[in-house]
Structure 1
Amino acid sequence: MHNDSLELRQFVSSHTVDDRLRQALIDCWVDVTNAGGAAGFPLPPIDDWQAAPALDAILSSLAPDTCRLLVALTEGEVAGWLNLRRDPFALIAHWGTLHHVQTHPRLRGRGIGVALMELAQQVARDEMGLEHLHLAARGGVGLERFYGRLGWKEIGRWPDALRLAPGDDRDEILMILAPL
């Protein structure tokens, strides 16, 4: 589905993220996690006190060559975001990793996740000079199908690596997009 009001932005410095946007990113992360989203926190519910330090760590590491924040806005509201990072080790510096990929639960199904993933691929290739992207996704929620439709390939699994609750162990699915 095409979303005419969708605005995609990227941030390469914490100084360009104002307090209003910072709070909106935190709110999105809390809402995604508490709706069962697999965006970096293992167990809901979470609140601002847990999300804020995690977001601040991402913001403090922003830099044009190594770490970017990609944000989708619709009607001025944060609709989703992700973090794109280059590995600092020389042997694998041609790889990038996507972290905390998320779309706000009430805005899903509008193409926001697809738009963010397409932007991540373009930024990684054209602006950061990366050749491959990878990510880890939580099994059992259909994420591998979503990413697969965008050209990502499953390259392995860590069986039962994620324990969400007693008796609820999930695979961690390793995925790659290569070449960009």
Structure 2
Amino acid sequence: MSADSLELHRATCPDDVDPRLRQALIDCWVDVTNAGGAAGFPFPPIDAQQAAPALDAIIANLAPETCRLILAMEDGELAGWLNTRRDTFALIAHWGTLHHVQTHPRVRARGIGIALMERARQVARDEMRLEHLHLAARGGVGLERFYGRLGWKEIGRWPDALRLAPGDDRDEILMVLQPL
């Protein structure tokens, strides 16, 4: 990947997601999940009929202050994406949560995930005025090391909280990025 070929965009309202982008997001989610990615669907294989309603719910909730997509585009094609959300309840409105962090399998290990995470941090701080971010990661796949290299700290675990298959229970790892 060259720095010139990667573009990072935001979708802040449902109208920002046209049918072509919607399909690319669905396809990415399906491909990431079916390649073993921990992006919200624990039981692969999945198909577009399963991913579409989950994506449509995210798109319907897009709003500049509370819910955004960060999109990584390489040479005009979707390379990865994530969802940043915040709750407006006064006690917790100062922090947000990252969901569905994913890089398409065809472009892994090229810095796209790092670029997405760095942009999410910048958008959360400068545009959404958040003070810190949270995320939950699936244990057993090295995600805590990836996020740790980017400044995230593990703040707890729910042991064996995720049952992927009989005999395959994984910790859910709670992480925070603070300050932004």
Question: Would you say same fold, with TM above 0.5?
Answer: yes
Aligned length: 180
Shift of 1:42: 1.2
Gaps of 5+ in 2: none
What's 1:49 paired with?
49
Report the secondary structure of 2:91's partner residue.
Answer: helix
What's 1:156 paired with?
156
What's 1:70 paired with?
70
Q: Is the 8 A contact 1:2 1:110 kept in 2?
A: no
What's 2:61 paired with?
61
Gaps of 5+ in 1: none
Report the secondary structure of 1:102's partner residue.
Answer: strand
What's 1:22 paired with?
22
Report the secondary structure of 2:135's partner residue.
Answer: strand
Shift of 1:88: 2.6
Matched, 1:85 2:114: no
Shift of 1:2: 5.3
Runs of 4+ in structure 1 off by over 4 angstroms are none
Measure, in 1, the Cα distance between the counterparts of 2:4 and 2:145.
Answer: 25
Measure, in 1, the Cα distance between the counterparts of 2:23 and 2:117.
Answer: 23
Residues 131-170 of structure 1 mapped to structure 2, 5 A cutoff = 131-170=131-170
Shift of 1:108: 0.5
Report the secondary structure of 1:68's partner residue.
Answer: strand
Q: Is the 8 A contact 1:2 1:111 kept in 2?
A: no
Shift of 1:89: 1.6
TM-score (normalised: structure 2): 0.98
What's 1:37 paired with?
37
Measure, in 2, the Cα distance between the counterparts of 1:156 and 1:113.
Answer: 23
